[in-house]
Structure 1
Amino acid sequence: MSSLPVDEDGTEPTPLRRQPTQRRSARRVERMLDACAHLLDDVGYEALSTTRIAERAGVAIGSVYQFFPDKRAITQEVTRRNVELFVSRVGARFLDEDYRGWWEAVDAIIDEYVDMHRSVPGFKSLHFGDVVDLNLLDSDSENNMVIAGRLRGLLLEEYGLADSEELDVAVLVAVEAGDAVLKLAFRRDPKGEPEIVAAAKQLIRSFLSRRLNPRRQRQQA
């Protein structure tokens, strides 16, 4: 299970036409990404345009095209930023909080997803880009497969689960199922219907317990 794709020099490729080399340029790119995220929440992807992004960010349209070829590329970079923020926040929770095992860590991952859905601009509109393109993050892998790879890596590092094809499949199915149920929770309630969020946790915990550790599932029952 691969994570985000990597170039030959070890860096992750981005949709940027060129990397900003000065702090002022980097701040300008961040303003464009922030503007895109807010507009996605306000007007949606179909009504999004580079002109609107430039106006919202307070930059010339030429500055947008200096770094991005089109709105899809900007949206892709917003999605990448969301993924990195999600993984970073989950990793920080793993450092700051003590869990009895991976099953409580999975609950924390879902809690972070729900919190970002409520508070991070653009996250509720894009999730991980699925409303735009199933292969937005990686042309060779669907978005949830990329996310599953990142989360699988965290679980392997923290809890020493056996690295296997069974783990690959189990985490991918858990991500797909959890994503679908959590989307339902936010369709029912803009803040996420608590009963459905709780059901998502129970569903994922039960599934992973059966696939990864039947004996622990019996102990937890």
Structure 2
Amino acid sequence: MARVRRMLDACAELLDEGGYAALSTTRIAERAGVAIGSVYQFFPDKKAITQALGLRYLDIFSARVSARLSGEAFDHWTDGVDAIIDEYIDMHRTVPGFRSLHFGDVVDVQLLDGGADNNRVIADRLRDIVAGVPGAPDGGQLDRAAAVAVEAADAVLKLAFRHDADGDADLIAEAKLLVRSYLGRHFAAE
């Protein structure tokens, strides 16, 4: 629905301008050009709006990763790690609000799903995508490996963007090396 999309877009813009602390439903309504009642018709508060935005980002990220992995040939399934990280980096640089919200960890570590940490939700989504890549392992080992890889990449990529709006290229390269090396060694026999 166009009205909800405008509210989410306004939320993203406002997050970039002032962060979560400065965000309010009133400001979102004003920026989106809707009545405050319209905001409350769909979202009870600013956290609910940022949750919807985080879920939208997760869907966009998943679609971009899926398209990239299905559109390129890799020598080994772990080579797709660079493509996954590149999509995250590109969203961080170009998608309004993503830099401020990521996948919601700025607001609540369980914003995407009240029963799981945000990184677990992302790891599960990436696991499902990677499991469809030829040669990828399946099962419990991939579950654990995806969780560890997402946590490790998240930490290093946060560091890469902490003082550099475009992301420190050397730290981004280190994140890729770290995750590829871990996954490559973890599943070397496969």
Assess same fold via TM > 0.5: yes
Displacement after TM superposition at 1:214 (Å): 5.0
Q: 1:142 corresponds to which letter in structure 2?
A: D
1:40 aligns with 2:15: yes
Q: CA offsets per residue over residues 12-49 of structure 1, 9 Å max, x none?
A: xxxxxxxxxxxxxx101100000001101101101100
User: TM-score if structure 2 supplies the norm length?
Assistant: 0.97
RMSD of aligned Cα (Å): 1.1
- Distance in 1 of aligned mates of 2:36 and 2:75: 52
Q: CA offsets per residue over residues 161-202 of structure 1, 9 Å max, x none?
A: 332222111110100000110011111310011100000000
1:181 aligns with 2:156: yes
Asked which structure has the greater CA Rg, the reply is 1
Q: Which residue of 2 aligns with 1:93?
A: 68
Q: Which residue of 2 aligns with 1:192?
A: 167
Deviation above 3 Å: which 4+ runs of structure 1? none
1:127 aligns with 2:106: no
1:49 aligns with 2:24: yes
Where structure 2 has 5 or more consecutive residues not aligned to the other structure, the ranges are none
Identity %: 61
| 1:172 counterpart (147, 165, 177) | 147
Say whether the 8 Å CA contact 2:78–2:180 is kept in structure 1: yes
Name the SS of the counterpart of 1:140 in structure 2.
coil
Say whether the 8 Å CA contact 2:76–2:135 is kept in structure 1: no
Q: 2:86 corresponds to which letter in structure 1?
A: D
Superposed, which structure 2 residues align to 1:200-211 within 5 Å?
A: 200-211=175-186
Q: Which residue of 2 aligns with 1:30?
A: 5
User: TM-score if structure 1 supplies the norm length?
Assistant: 0.83
Q: 1:170 corresponds to which letter in structure 2?
A: A
Displacement after TM superposition at 1:76 (Å): 0.2
Q: Which residue of 2 aligns with 1:153?
A: 128
- Distance in 1 of aligned mates of 2:123 and 2:134: 16
Q: 2:28 corresponds to which letter in structure 1?
A: I
Aligned length: 190
Q: CA offsets per residue over residues 96-148 of structure 1, 9 Å max, x none?
A: 22211212211100000000000001111111100111111111110100100
- Distance in 2 of aligned mates of 1:190 and 1:201: 18
Where structure 1 has 5 or more consecutive residues not aligned to the other structure, the ranges are 1-25, 216-221
Name the SS of the counterpart of 2:11 in structure 1.
helix
Say whether the 8 Å CA contact 2:77–2:135 is kept in structure 1: no
